[in-house]
Amino acid sequence: MSITVAIDGPAAAGKGTISKAVAAHFGFAHLDTGLLYRAVGAKTLAGFEAIAAAQSLQAEDLDASNLRSAEVAQAASKVAVIAEVRAALVDFQRAFAQRSGGAVLDGRDIGTVICPEAQVKLFVTASAEVRAERRYLELAAKDGDVTRADVLADVKARDARDMTRAEAPLKPAEDAVLIDTTDLDIAAAIAAAVRQVSSAI
Ligand code: CDP
């Protein structure tokens, strides 16, 4: 049986860290679906049209060095509202979810749209301030000019865009288990996710 673990949540909630750790713990493959949208967003910043960029996305586009920047994050959430962009990325995500040996996918709409049949659905969240502080520390390590205020504004703008869009808005699936990491350290958040997967398999 192929096990799919769907992990959704708002910006910088800790989905990536938790997903990687869950995948390593169970020997599952991991797909950071945000990277697909970031790669399309980066292409639009380079002058390409969003839908054509999504439809012609190549594996090497996911290796671009700038994908983690705040500018690309904003561009990603802008292309992510476009139905045709989302549609172009569905088959790849579903095929990944079906791979034998188990898969963890993290994003915004995995439990609701991409893999509504996933055996485990987690919705990872935290207060906007805590999420922005974590992202600030990540970004500041690479770019000394970044400010806390800018990162908080970026996180809030993306959350608002992601939650209010018509197509696959960010929201917990009805049967998702909520993990609020506001007061959890990384080890405790990972342990909570691992417990959920263990009890499902
Ligand atoms: O790492 P972070 O949580 O900040 O963002 P990300 O997961 O890399 O996603 C970047 C942007 O892509 C999000 O703000 C969403 O607009 C979009 N996205 C989406 O619409 N659906 C997904 N499954 C994953 C990301």
Domain membership of residue 198 (yes or no) is no
pLDDT tens for each residue of 94-134? 999 999 899 999 999 999 999 999 999 999 999 999 999 99
Closest protein CA for atom 18 of ligand 1? 34
Domain membership of residue 197 (yes or no) is no
> Rounded to whole angstroms, how far apart are CA atoms 51 and 62?
16
Domain membership of residue 40 (yes or no) is yes
Q: Which of 3, 56, 2, 54 is nearest to 33 (CA)?
A: 54
Q: Which residues have CB under 8 Å from 38's CB, separation 6+?
A: 67, 68, 72, 73, 75, 76
Closest protein CA for atom 21 of ligand 1? 108
Domain membership of residue 30 (yes or no) is yes
pLDDT of the residue at 142: 86
Asked whether 34 lines ligand 1 (CB < 6 A), one says yes
> Rounded to whole angstroms, how far apart are CA atoms 118 and 172?
13
Domain membership of residue 108 (yes or no) is yes
Closest protein CA for atom 9 of ligand 1? 34
| Residue among 158, 159, 161 whose CB has most ligand 1 atoms within 8 A, to mutate | 158
Distance 11 CA to ligand 1 centre (A): 7
CATH number at residue 138: 3.40.50.300
- The per-residue b/e assignment along 134-152, b for 16 or more CB within 10 angstroms, e otherwise, is bbbeebeeeeeebeeeebb
> Rounded to whole angstroms, how far apart are CA atoms 16 and 152?
19
Range of the domain at 60: 4-191
- Environment class of residue 70 by beta-carbon count within 10 Å: exposed (0-12), middle (13-18) or buried (19+)? middle
pLDDT tens for each residue of 140-174? 988 888 999 999 999 999 999 999 999 999 999 99
Work out which ligand 1 atom sits closest to the CA atom of 110. 23
Asked whether 67 lines ligand 1 (CB < 6 A), one says no
Mean pLDDT (the chain) is: 95
Asked whether 111 lines ligand 1 (CB < 6 A), one says no
| Residue among 32, 33, 81, 154 whose CB has most ligand 1 atoms within 8 A, to mutate | 33
Q: Which residues have CB under 8 Å from 58's CB, separation 6+?
A: none
- How many structural domains is the chain composed of? 1
Domain membership of residue 200 (yes or no) is no
pTM: 0.96
